[in-house]
A and B are shown apart, each in its own frame.
Chain A
Amino acid sequence: MGDAINVTDIGIKFAINRRRRLELKNMFVRTRETLGQGEFWALRNVSFSVGVGEAVGVIGRNGSGKSTLLRLIAGVLLPDEGSVEVHGGVGAMIELSAGFVGDLTARDNIYLISALHGFSREQVDARFQEIVEWAGVERFVDTPVQHYSSGMKARLAFSIVTQMEEPILLVDEVLAVGDAAFRRKCADVIDGMLAEGRTFLLVSHNETDLRRWCKRGIYLKNGAVVTDGPVEDVLEEYAADAEVQN
């Protein structure tokens, strides 16, 4: 089996104060390897590979660079150093409700969001009933989504993106929404996806989720990989580290 994802010596830096005043010179003259004033490396010298069909959990405290890493792999951020290679289509579940237009009905939104994820109209036609039923919004298909509760929106969003057939799935904390019943339903869907042999990269704080789905864990701290190994070991080290800091 080959690799699905290759991350090589990746580095990305941000400004500490995002509302900084930008110097025109810095925008056009590239100074990638060095830090400018008020900048920090959100990730640096991070390298790892994920094999086809592997399920990997990314662990770390808030601000350790987990979400940044996922966004780099998803292609919605670009690295300042190194490279990200993905072999096959990537389905990213980041901020699921992004793209919803409140003025439009659920029906219109399903077609809209699906198209953003690369579905043709015919493909959505074929899946429409399933999406609506799974989300449990049959009665409100022609209601503008601005009148939806946040739970309904989350269900609808999840129902749409789980239709994605991409072989590589990136999931960022999206399972943290909704009630217990919804979480169970989501978990079943993820089980099904893993059974199909898809590659899976999960960012989560939930140890139960990480143990359930991932065999391997990557522990990120201050933008660098601390441990990369069996998920039990990584969780243990993370817990021990957290205790020391407390």
Chain B
Amino acid sequence: MRTATGLRLSARLAQIWSRRDVLYMFISRGLKVKYASSVLGYAWSLIEPALFIGIYFVVFGRIFPNKTHHYPLFIASTILPWLWFNSTVLQSLGALRTNARLITSIALPREIYPLTVVGEKFIEFLLSLPVLLAVAAFYETKPSRYLFAFPLAVLLELMLVTGVALFIAALNTILRDVQRGIGVVLRLFFYLTPVLYAVKKIHGTLRHFYELNPLVGIFELFRAPWFPNDFGDWRAVYISIIGSILTLVLGWLVFIRLERSVLKEL
């Protein structure tokens, strides 16, 4: 029954689950098209992060004075999750708009479209991990006892990015300004997140505010397996756990709230 009031979250989840075959198909189609339509194909998933590591190493490791031990590995451990976050957000902008004809002619759970972006980018992130392992091997570094932090970080970022993708995909359909503003916002968060530096560089009261960004705890976890001494504290991690869950739930609720307007706008 379709009424003027929306469905409950559990009912919507059941609907998405019942059409998970379509989700898998969209994800594999997206990856197939992406890898088949460029000459280098999968190699891009390795070359791109490797180039970023090279650039940041030259700029922040050589041109600016920097005494961080094994700086390329330091960057590698966090640039991959950052590129994952960044690319998911950018691609989710068009998740609904580029599928407008499909959405307005076949009734599928609308969440499937942003979730396709989330799935594709998650797989690309996993496929780019050999770069991190290669850099670690080059410096003959083995993961520390903090290795367990890695799967936790992945899980948290997956939840966070899903909430953000749902939010952005819906909002950008009715408010095109999102597309214009997102670049600046992403750049801001890039510097507010410990991608190129250690959390320890932030001191005093500032640190309390700084750690309110849920990405901070996640990126601490990503770095911990390789640089246990740079691990800040657990408080940021707790904030990240709460923040990621909240972002997921709120992003989804906004998506549901905007769905009616989105369908009219497409």
Contact = CB atoms under 8 A, between A and B. Distances in A.
Contacts of A117: 106
Contact of B2 (A18, A24, A32, A83): A83
B260 interface: yes
A24 B174 CA distance: 10
B106 A76 contact: yes
A185 B257 CA distance: 43
Nearest to A14: B264
B1 A101 contact: no
Interface residues of A, number: 38
Contacts of A193: none
Contacts of B184: none
A98 interface: yes
Chain B interface, >50% SS class: helix
Contacts of B105: 74, 76, 92, 94-95, 98-99
Interface residues of B, number: 28
Contacts of A103: 33, 37
Given A28-B257, A74-B107, A77-B264, A84 B2 contact: yes
Nearest to A79: B4
A70 to B, nearest CB: 10
Interface stretch (B21-29, B131-139, B217-225, B230-238): B21-29
Contacts of B22: 115-116
B29 A112 contact: yes
Contact of A79 (B2, B25, B37, B107): B2
A115 B25 contact: yes
Interface in A163-193: none
Contacts of A92: 105-107
A81 B25 CA distance: 35
Contact of B102 (A12, A83, A99): A99
B264 A82 contact: no
7 contacts: A27-B258, A76-B104, A76-B105, A78-B260, A83-B1, A83-B2, A99-B101
Interface of B: 1-4, 21-22, 25, 29, 33, 37, 101-108, 174-175, 257-261, 263-265
Those 10 A-B pairs whose CB atoms lie nearest each other, nearest first: A75-B107, A83-B3, A95-B105, A98-B101, A98-B105, A94-B105, A78-B260, A84-B2, A85-B1, A98-B102
